Structure 1
Amino acid sequence: MEFLEYSSTMLSSCPAAPRPLLLLLLKLFGSLPFNPKVLEPAPVPVPSSLVMLISSLNVKPNNFLAGKKSQISSTPPMRFRYAMVCSSNQNRSMEAHALLKRQGLDVASYGTGSHVKLPGPSLREPNVYDFGTPYKQMFDELRRKDPELYKRNGILQMIKRNLSVKLAPQRWQDNAGDGVFDVVMTFEEKVFDSVLEDLNNREQSLTKTILVMNLEVKDNHEEAAIGGRLALELCQEIEGNETWEDTIDDIVAGFEKQHRRKLVYSISFY
């Protein structure tokens, strides 16, 4: 009895290796019903360091641990982080964001206004939202207000595109927690000035350079589509170089000559 009491007490704390032997002894002494499954070795936990390694390699853990052929992504890492910026993070910046994201570039988008503004029944009656309001909420509200109007002027289609890209509009001045960017693309002179002013007012403790460019694009659906394609082409040209510092003058000159559009750029710091 002393053996059985001692064995039962130690069962839960015994190492994995002697556990089957102890269970067999308990069976022989009649203390436990025999179950062959309890003699199977305990599963070995996967170390957290291995899980992190698998995640960093973009490998499916089950296939990796089962010894199957690893499925590692062949997509090369992006050199630069891009930010597309307009006033309300609705039309121009989101058109460019969607295109760059589709092509695999590391991109985010923002607005610089105090509020998000969308066209309403008249110029004096815009729809005004706070940054961070989900696109889905805007879509549902406008469709409920006047579905014919907002379908006819393309607002519902635009917001539907936006909610497939991200959750809600974001404000550039509140993006300190999003990390640093290498290239910022704006689509209006006043937005360009707002981004530079904000960067100049930041602490700039990293001494990291950031390229801020402005491509003037009218705020309508047709021009936004053209501007988005031009922004994608320009960013792909930048992405094709090891650094933009040594090549930006040639890139800008070539872009302006080909498309007959003026580019303005400035270099700032984080």
Structure 2
Amino acid sequence: MTTLKIAVVCASNMNRSMRAHEMLKKHDYDVSSFGTNNEVRLPGKSISSQNVYNFGTPYEDMIHDLATDDLEFYSSNKILDMLERNKKIKRAPERIQSVEQLNFDLVITYENKVFEKVIIDYHKRTKRIHSHRPTFLVNLETIDSQQEAELCAKKTLDLVKKFEKYDNYEDNFEKLIEEFEEHINHNILYSVLFY
């Protein structure tokens, strides 16, 4: 059985990637999670207002900030629950573009624009490529809601198990993707990058 080094990536490293991180971690996978935005954005009290944080701001600090601002509001919309979950998984959200070396076998994104940002980031790093090893990039398009993130975490686990099924997933990548598309009854974006 192959040991995969996995990255799960959404926009702010808050909801979709963290739910998938939690699921894979529970199943003892080597997983990291990231965001691609310039900053972390959480819903505010109105559609036009957001809570904005720098990547690297501890989830604990966000909890304190939002609970101090309006405990009842951020409890009722489950943002504090999400942040409590996140702090049990890791200290703070991370931005994939800030990682020194991307040495992942499988990168799973949850939004087309995040998928594109990961590709751009890998291409910017091409001058620093050391091993010419492949990274398999797959996008599982997911609405950024807590309910959809939970469902997608299960799909993420299914996809990782499908990768593990193959001793040589590198040579069977397209077949593996076709099987997975059939399993979820949906076409997905995918690519092969190098690090």
Report how far residue 261 of structure 1 moved. Answer: 2.3
After superposition, the CA RMSD in angstroms is 1.3
CA separation in 2, counterparts of 1:188 and 1:207?
26
TM-aligned CA deviation for residue 205 of structure 1 = 2.8
- Alignment of 1:164 with 2:88, yes or no, is yes
Partner of 1:193: 116
Match status 1:129 vs 2:22: no
**Structure ranking higher in strand proportion:** 2
Q: Which amino acid aligns with 1:242?
A: D
Q: Name the stretch that deviates more: 255-264 or 133-142.
A: 255-264
Partner of 1:22: none
Q: Distance in 2 between matches of 1:153 and 1:252?
A: 36
1:98 aligns with 2:98: no
Partners of 1:241 and 1:249 in 2: how far apart?
12
- Could you say which residue in structure 2 is the equivalent of 1:175? 99
Give distance in 1, aligned partners of 2:40 and 2:134.
Answer: 29
Q: Is 1:233 aligned to 2:158, yes or no?
A: yes
Unaligned runs of 5+ in 2: none
Q: How does 1:61-140 map to 2 (within 5 A)?
A: 79-140=3-64
Q: Which has the higher contact order (CA 8 A, sep 6+)?
A: 2
Counting matched residue pairs gives 193
The answer on whether the counterparts of 1:79 and 1:242 sit within 8 Å (CA) in structure 2 is: no
How far, CA to CA, are the matches of 1:154 and 1:243 in structure 2?
41
Q: Distance in 1 between matches of 2:122 and 2:163?
A: 21
Q: TM-score, normalised by structure 1?
A: 0.69
Task: Determine if contact 1:88/1:115 at 8 Å carries over to the other structure.
Answer: yes
By how many angstroms is 1:249 displaced? Answer: 1.8
> For each residue in 1:97-125, what CA deviation from the matched residue of structure 2 results, as whole angstroms up to 9, or x when unmatched?
00000000000000000000000011221
Moved more, 191-200 or 138-147: 138-147
Query: SS state of the match for residue 110, structure 1?
Result: strand
Structure 1 range deviating more: 201-210 or 188-197: 201-210
Take 2:134 and 2:83, find their aligned partners in 1: how far apart are those partners? 33
1:244 deviates by 1.7
Identity rate, percent: 39
Instruction: Give matches, 1:215-226, under 5 Å.
Output: 215-226=140-151
Higher-Rg structure is 1
Q: Which runs of 5+ in 1 are unaligned?
A: 1-75
Query: Per-residue deviation at 1:131?
Result: 0.2
Give me the whole-angstrom Cα distance separating, in 1, the residues matched to 2:93 and 2:5.
Answer: 18
Q: Deviations over 1:20-67 (max 9, x none)?
A: xxxxxxxxxxxxxxxxxxxxxxxxxxxxxxxxxxxxxxxxxxxxxxxx
Aligned residue type for 1:118: L
TM-score (norm: length of structure 2): 0.95
**In structure 2, how many angstroms separate the alpha carbons of the residues matched to 1:167 and 1:254?**
36
Could you tell me how far 1:182 is from its partner in structure 2? Answer: 0.5
